[in-house]
Chains A and B, each alone.
Chain A
Amino acid sequence: MQVLKSVLAFFSTQIFQNPAFFMGIVVLIGCLFQKKSGKATLVSTIKAIVGMMILSVGSGQLKNASQAIIELFTARMGIQGVSTDMWTAVYAYIDELKAINMQNVAMVMITAWIINLILAKITPIKTIFLTGHVAYCDSAFLTFFLWRMTRLTGAGLFITSAMVCAIYWWLFPSLLRKFLNPLLGDTPLTLGHNLCISGIMTTQLSKLFGKKEDSAENLKLPGWLSIFKDSIIAYSIIMGIIYLVITLLCGPAIVAKKAGSANYIIYGLTQGFTMAVGVYILLAGVRMFLNELIPAFKGFSDKLVPGAIAAVDSPVFWSYAPTAALLGFLCTVIGQFVGVGILAACGSSVIAIPSVIPLFFGGCTLGVFANSTGGWKGTIGATFIMGIVVICGSAGLAALLNYNFVPGHSDWSTLWLVVIAVLRLIFGAPSKSAA
């Protein structure tokens, strides 16, 4: 009995609270189910564990680079700066969740996936969420938000968070699906990303500005814009410029507190480029563990729920309207910076700092959606407005959470902003101001 207890204790503290080893176990079980060879099983299991460890190194880089800049911004302006980078938020939240032993959000993710499969099996809504990295991020976001707003911990938090994730992944992509008919026809596909409710809003906004017959695909955009399709270049240029502007605003004296002997301009650029370094490392890790996990999960779900509608990552949709995607990105950039201007002009005590993922991945995807209902005029109008919504909504979310890292994508500044506001009405303001 004593032995059994210590074995259980070993698993619950050493494996189930350790995301990397937990993922290793999940992939190991997946391999056994697929009857893979011993060699292939060993390779897959190691890759899943190492991939998770690489992911954590990369997102740690992002957090360190952006935190320094946000502290400088706050020191100079007396206004709370807020990061809108999704991977930075993942790292920050998981770090906080260690306080209640909930850092293994991979366990929430796997449980939520199983619930998603069951829901798709037993209800008429057959959506299966297949974007693994977004699932991982969402698990961290929702677990942290629920803990922070409702103060749930332990099993209660775990079950609530897994249920909420599962319902978000299963229901919302299917709500979006019917608005994607002009784009997808009857392909059994929908978007599995944090752009569902905001995607619906975009298609409706777009109609107010133009007609779908005037497609953005007839426009010719400058060729150099396509360099942003390379995520390393996008991160380097966009974060380099934003951080450079912030260090220039701060001036050498304030920046020296962080930069030491480094020149303040070089320091700003270095921190921006460090974001690209972090993303590159992170991607290597994400790819490594998802390559092991997703095919196994898909094989499983194909057997259990035949004919399911796959909710997949955003770049799948860009090929339907590549020019509209770039136009959406461009107008989202303008919209987000106008959003920053609006917050500053209103004397807001919180300002959200634009970041690559909501700008590029959000902008491109919403651009394609907008074009399918409102053509190029609709794309310009809708993505510009959604850019403002992302920045103002993110600032609002940060204020409600009393926390200066938020996920950034537009569902978090629309749908979840409302949910968090309701939770705050019920449970009151979160007390601790962390990070």
Chain B
Amino acid sequence: MEVFKVAVCCTFGAGSSLMLKMNLDSVFAKMGLNVDIKVEDISSISGLKNDLDAIFTSSALASQVEESIRGAKAIVVPVVNYFDLNGLEKLVRQYLLKEGE
């Protein structure tokens, strides 16, 4: 079974991104998908860009992250509400599973 390689990213990579990781972990588990989620900050993310399927980050940081990983295969997923698990599931379906639309 495929394992999705995902990073979550914020300015510090310690506080809010860890919350997002925990919520994503439970969303992926509920959807029955295997995932490996790393927690990173904006400065380190470009070093991992070719190793990742997707980077989940705050919509306030998305453009900054997109700039620093330009040319990589990873897609940037902007998140507004870190704690809306249904919303997160929609994002996973839309960006990683390419469902709908």
Contacts and interface: CB of A to CB of B under 8 A. Distances in A.
A132 B14 contact: yes
A187 B11 contact: no
A360 B11 CA distance: 10
Interface stretch (A10-18, A205-213, A284-292, A425-433): A284-292
B99 interface: no
A360 B10 CA distance: 14
A173 to B, nearest CB: 14
A32 to B, nearest CB: 20
B81 interface: yes
B41 interface: yes
A290 B18 contact: yes
A159 B42 CA distance: 38
Main SS of the interface on chain A?
helix
Interface stretch (B47-55, B58-66, B69-77, B88-96): B58-66
A283 to B, nearest CB: 6
B64 A229 contact: yes
A313 B83 contact: no
B42 A231 contact: yes
Q: What interface size band does chain A fall in?
A: 35 or more
B22 interface: yes
Interface in A213-252: 226-227, 229-233
B19 A287 contact: no
Interface stretch (A314-322, A371-379, A409-417): A314-322
B6 interface: no
A188 interface: yes
Contacts of A287: 13-14, 18, 39, 41
B16 A313 contact: yes
B15 A314 contact: yes
Contacts of A230: 11, 41-43, 64
Main SS of the interface on chain B?
mixed
Contacts of B58: 315-316, 318-319
Contacts of A280: 43
B80 A310 contact: no
Contact of A315 (B12, B39, B78): B12
Interface in A321-372: 322, 325, 360-361
Contacts of B79: 319
B16 A312 contact: yes
Contacts of A318: 58, 60-61
B82 interface: yes
B84 interface: yes
Which among B15, B18, B79, B80 has the greatest number of chain A C-beta atoms within 10 A?
B15
Q: Nearest 3 pairs between A and B by C-beta? A: A313-B15, A322-B60, A318-B60
Interface of B: 10-19, 22, 25, 39, 41-43, 58-61, 63-64, 78-84
29 contacts: A131-B15, A133-B14, A133-B15, A187-B84, A189-B83, A226-B63, A226-B64, A229-B60, A229-B61, A230-B64, A231-B42, A287-B14, A290-B18, A294-B18, A310-B83, A312-B16, A312-B19, A313-B16, A315-B10, A315-B12, A315-B17, A315-B58, A315-B61, A316-B15, A319-B58, A319-B59, A319-B78, A319-B80, A322-B60
Given A295-B18, A313-B15, 7 more contacts: A132-B14, A231-B11, A232-B43, A283-B41, A287-B41, A313-B16, A319-B58
